[in-house]
């Protein structure tokens, strides 16, 4: 904690020293956001030495963690104690502070909610330069509740205390095939509501949509022993195994990072799913942060767009989104998405909020499905960038859902504040950033400043 206090003083000094009028940006080596900005007046805020696990306490099943700590490092610190965070987002370089201020999800979310719902306490550098400790039961409770989905517009998480979950060494997977989206959603709802499949307790639930006649629910169960443990960090590819295996076994660590090696399925854009190419690529490069850097370079230099123009290919739109849809409307969303967008595969992850979080107002106790889809889609002739994303936004809210804000958004201002609860946001914004030093949520997440 002594080292942590020194790091807190350092970031406070760094914040004070930023040029007046410049919007602060955390200086991070990696990012999992997909809002690309033009160079502007943003000032880099040093968060040096705020990336450590301070303590793991096996007795209380809690961890004290600095805000810039990646889940990869956090998991490496908790697993030796037989523990894991309640929800471990899919990608290794997602930070704990990022998952809380920007939301996160995984296959334990159907019973344990989202990452911020296992947070007991947050130390926050606020927009007005104070460092406060926020809990659900203290004088900063409104900040504690509004912090999830605020994306750094209320402040930055410096330290968090989170609850941990006991684990076993292995996870047994069962992939259940479906040819009908409606039946798939009904089965997923039954599994999630009962917490069981074929008479056995279920610890994890997610799913994969490959095409209208082929989709799978994957249920996972902790196990003390396994007849074998599959390895999807080399030549073999996890998502492809879903179509060919009914039963599989992974170590708990490999299960938590099963999606990271191939960035779900998005590594195919870089050719590394081709056996020859894959055999030549070092394993340490098969990970999501490497691919994200390659996307950033492509965005900066426009190489893909140049090649498409040279080949005469249609202009493409980036469609990278995660949306939450009530499970009873899940099949309707899949029908819409296949008809209007047509991208596959699609990730399906059920979730149930355990509390009331005003800036992302999911109904507590209600089962939703997160649909995740990431890629490029050709624009119809005469249409412009944002065409598909706007269709998706309209469909999501017609179906009573919500959309994460880590990527591009196109909402008009008034609609945005209605959907993301401006009535709850602005009193907290004025209380902790009265001078408007930090961008507000609309300016940051929609206008992309």
Burial degree of 1 (CB within 10 A; 0-12, 13-18, 19+): exposed
Whole-angstrom Cα distance, residue 122 to residue 134? Answer: 5
* Lowest mean per-residue pLDDT among 27-41, 299-313, 379-393, 411-425: 27-41
Whole-angstrom Cα distance, residue 383 to residue 314? Answer: 11
| Number of continuous H segments (helices) and E segments (strands) in the chain | 16, 18
Domain 302-410 in CATH 3.30.70.1070: no
Q: Return the pLDDT at 34.
A: 63
**What does the mean pLDDT of the chain come to?**
93
Whole-angstrom Cα distance, residue 77 to residue 62? Answer: 12
Tell me the β-bridge partners of 121.
161
Whole-angstrom Cα distance, residue 383 to residue 281? Answer: 38
Q: Return the pLDDT at 443.
A: 94
Burial degree of 166 (CB within 10 A; 0-12, 13-18, 19+): exposed
Secondary structure of residue 380 in the 3-state scheme: coil
Phi, psi for residue 155 in degrees, rounded to 5: 155, -175
Number of neighbours of residue 17 by Cβ within 10 angstroms: 10
What 426-431 contacts at long range (C-beta under 8 Å, 24+ apart), as own/partner pairs, is 427/142, 428/142, 428/143, 428/146, 428/154, 429/127, 429/153, 429/154, 431/142, 431/143
Sorted by where each begins, the domain ranges of the chain are: 2-167, 170-258, 302-410
Q: Return the pLDDT at 336.
A: 97
The predicted model gives 3-16 an average pLDDT of 91
Q: Return the pLDDT at 68.
A: 94
Whole-angstrom Cα distance, residue 158 to residue 270? Answer: 35
Question: Tell me: the pLDDT tens digits for 212-234?
Answer: 999 999 999 999 999 999 999 99
Which residue, among 131, 143, 96, 94, has the nearest Cα to 15 in the 3D structure?
131
User: Is pLDDT at 202 greater than 90 in this prediction?
Assistant: yes
The b-or-e profile of 263-298 (16+ CB within 10 A means b, else e) is bbbbbebbebbeeeebeeeeeeebbbbbbbeebeee
* Residue 98 Cα distances to 6, 25, 157, 236, 378, angstroms: 21, 13, 8, 30, 31
CATH number attached to the domain at 2-167: 3.30.465.10
In this prediction, what percent of the chain has a pLDDT beyond 70?
A: 95
Q: Return the pLDDT at 179.
A: 98
Tokens of 362: 């999911």
Tokens of 227: 């007849």
Q: What is the CA radius of gyration of the chain?
A: 21
Confidence category of residue 42, pLDDT binned at 50, 70, 90: low
DSSP 118: G
User: Is pLDDT at 177 greater than 80 in this prediction?
Assistant: yes
User: For the chain, how far is it from start to end, CA to CA, in angstroms?
Assistant: 35
Query: Are 153 and 362 spatial neighbours (Cβ–Cβ below 8 Å)?
Result: no
Whole-angstrom Cα distance, residue 236 to residue 215? Answer: 20
Query: Are 112 and 153 spatial neighbours (Cβ–Cβ below 8 Å)?
Result: no
Q: Return the pLDDT at 33.
A: 65
């Amino acid at each position: 904690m002594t080292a942590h206090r020194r790091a807190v003083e350092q970031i406070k000094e760094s914040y004070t020293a930023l040029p007046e009028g410049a919007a602060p940006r955390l200086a991070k080596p990696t990012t999992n956001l997909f809002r690309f900005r033009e160079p502007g007046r943003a000032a880099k805020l040093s968060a040096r030495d705020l990336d450590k696990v301070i303590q793991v306490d096996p007795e209380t099943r809690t961890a004290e963690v600095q805000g810039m700590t990646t889940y990869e490092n956090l998991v490496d610190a908790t697993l030796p104690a037989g523990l894991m965070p309640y929800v471990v987002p899919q990608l290794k370089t997602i930070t704990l502070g990022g998952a809380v201020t920007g939301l996160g999800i995984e296959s334990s979310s159907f019973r344990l909610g989202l990452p911020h719902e296992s947070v007991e306490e947050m130390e926050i550098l606020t927009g007005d330069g104070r460092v406060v400790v926020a809990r659900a039961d203290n004088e900063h409770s409104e900040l504690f509740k509004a912090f999830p989905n605020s994306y750094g517009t209320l402040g930055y998480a410096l330290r968090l205390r989170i609850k941990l979950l006991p684990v076993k060494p292995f996870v047994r997977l069962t992939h259940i095939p479906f040819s009908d989206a409606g039946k798939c959603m009904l089965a997923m709802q039954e599994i999630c509501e009962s917490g069981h499949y074929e008479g056995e307790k279920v610890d994890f639930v997610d799913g994969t949509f490959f095409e209208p006649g082929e989709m799978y629910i994957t249920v996972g169960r902790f196990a003390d022993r396994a007849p074998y443990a599959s390895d999807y960090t080399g030549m073999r590819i996890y998502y492809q195994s879903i179509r060919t295996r009914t039963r599989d076994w992974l170590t708990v660590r490999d299960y938590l990072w099963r999606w990271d090696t191939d960035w779900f399925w998005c590594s195919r854009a870089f050719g590394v799913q081709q056996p020859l190419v894959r055999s030549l690529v070092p394993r340490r490069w098969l990970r999501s942060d490497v691919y994200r850097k390659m996307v950033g370079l492509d965005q900066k230099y426009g190489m893909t767009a140049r090649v498409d123009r040279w080949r005469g290919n249609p202009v493409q739109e980036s469609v990278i989104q995660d949306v939450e849809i009530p499970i009873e409307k899940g099949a309707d969303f899949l029908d819409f998405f296949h008809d209007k967008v047509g991208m596959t595969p699609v990730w399906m992850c059920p979730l149930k909020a355990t509390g009331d979080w005003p800036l992302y107002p999911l109904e507590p106790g209600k089962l939703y499905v997160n649909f995740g889809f990431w890629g490029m889609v050709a624009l119809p002739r005469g249409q412009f960038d944002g065409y598909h994303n706007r269709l998706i936004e309209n469909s999501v809210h017609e179906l009573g859902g919500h959309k994460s804000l880590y990527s591009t958004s196109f909402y008009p201002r008034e609609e945005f504040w209605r959907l993301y609860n401006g009535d709850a946001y602005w009193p907290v914004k004025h209380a902790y950033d009265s001078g408007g030093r930090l961008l507000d949520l609309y300016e940051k997440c929609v206008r992309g400043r």
